[in-house]
Chains A and B, each alone.
Chain A
């Protein structure tokens, strides 16, 4: 995960035994993991899930709730919608943020103003813009469309600063040399900046994926057409229609959570670097 410092807290560690820390941490881990286990258990339990007392282990476990979710609701359609929206958001974020960040590494009049503007925009949470954002999207004719769903997340200020920090670290001499060699600005970005900033690209991909994949409020507002609903909307719709009468709801939950968990476990380092650098940059 995070780079461990070699000399962390040596002095206290010698004086204190480790086992109380382990006990406390195991307790914390238990509390953090139990909700996952409980839902996983419910999604696998074969018999009536409303029997009291609930069993601690899955009874007659089977996978058929997952099959039910796949067929009884348009899961594949929701998945496609979510993937399309996330794909659009990721693509736009990687490109637009890189362009903006590259522009900000140059000296030009109004640069300070732009940076101030970006930092103050960061103080406007998306939730406080929903009403006009809905009206604007309607005026653009983008309600019920992939573009309308993804457009507000096309560029993220945090991610611009992640890129900028990475671009700033590229030696000026390298860029000047490339320019003397006659490379165009676009070539400089593609051949020098981006290859030297792969971790910033990864951070952009992961953060924009997680944010658009999990986004709920915005799809809830702009999507009325059942064919255009994304996974979180499908999940909340399922809850409204069937309440919690079937274990399929929890199988649905697990199916929706899995991609995020897999991606997070794959790219933990980039994800956390993005969050910490984003947070400390503003």
Chain B
């Protein structure tokens, strides 16, 4: 710092030491306060318009009978009662919960990959780039790519399976009740693997090396080092990846929309796809809002549960 350090006086105290200029300082502070709020307004406006207000409006809509053209009317819990009796809602909810399995599967795979690319192997940066390459891609295009891989007649999967004589008849992956959802899930894992790897890698690089050195001097085996040092110290990173994974898979839309359109007959439809369909294809805007409220509440509960399970580590991360 050198010379610059000498003027490092906290501004507030400097002002207090100059009482004669208090008036000027007061107006200066008001100007500064104004400036702060002017600077904050654009961002806050965007968040208010597209985060906070929709949240409230969803809640209001869910208790209304709403149409884009007619009058709105308060109808209490009717939509929620409808939802309770709506089979499609329960199916999509079940599908969404199953789809969240992509988080633990992806994280387990990513953990193995990140341990490998964190070692001293040559070309590890190239491996990292390759694994990460699929993450920033357009999900719609990823969906089309995987649709083609799953193609019943000439898709790569069926080609490999038939060449190895594992199946006699080609498998109609995306047209089958049992396989459609797992097929989409696999595509999702493929795309998001690199993201988990990055998070876990950042966690791994935060573990002090001397812990391993001390452990190997004490004669701890590599597996013991992994179980006693790596896993416990990696827990915050794993949890972080888990929460983000839950959030993204719970709100997944693009892949299903492109690959299966929710079919065959809702067997791969996710909650967001159903909300989209209800609001913009079936014109049941109010019902879609009620669905969204339930979805949001579930998401909050899931995040809170995850937070409790991890012993509140995420709270520490989030509040900086």
Contact = CB atoms under 8 A, between A and B. Distances in A.
Q: Report whether chain A binds chain B.
A: yes
B76 interface: no
Contact of B129 (A11, A13, A54, A268): A268
A92 B45 CA distance: 13
B147 interface: yes
A52 B153 CA distance: 7
B265 interface: no
Interface residues of A, number: 110
A167 B216 CA distance: 41
B11 A216 contact: no
Contacts of B184: none
Interface residues of B, number: 110
A131 B54 contact: yes
Interface string A226-263: 00000110011001000010000110010011001100
A107 B299 CA distance: 33
A99 B39 CA distance: 5
For the complex of A and B, list the 6 residue pairs with the smallest distance between their C-beta atoms, beginning with the closest: A129-B54, A132-B54, A132-B57, A127-B251, A103-B39, A155-B43
Interface of B: 1, 4-5, 7-9, 11-12, 32-33, 35-37, 39-40, 42-44, 46-47, 49-55, 57-58, 61, 112-113, 116-122, 124-125, 127-134, 136-141, 144-149, 151, 153-154, 156, 159, 162-163, 190, 193-195, 198-199, 201-202, 205, 209, 212-213, 216, 222, 225, 240, 244, 247, 250-251, 253-254, 257-258, 272, 275-276, 279-280, 285, 288-289, 292, 295-296, 299-300, 303, 317-320
Interface of A: 1-2, 4-5, 7-13, 15-16, 18, 21-22, 24-25, 28-29, 31-36, 38-39, 42, 49-54, 92, 96-97, 99-100, 102-104, 106-108, 114, 117-119, 121, 123-136, 151-152, 154-155, 157, 160, 171-174, 176-177, 180, 185, 210, 213-214, 216-217, 220-221, 231-232, 235-236, 239, 244, 249-250, 253, 256-257, 260-261, 264-265, 268, 271-272, 275-276, 279-282
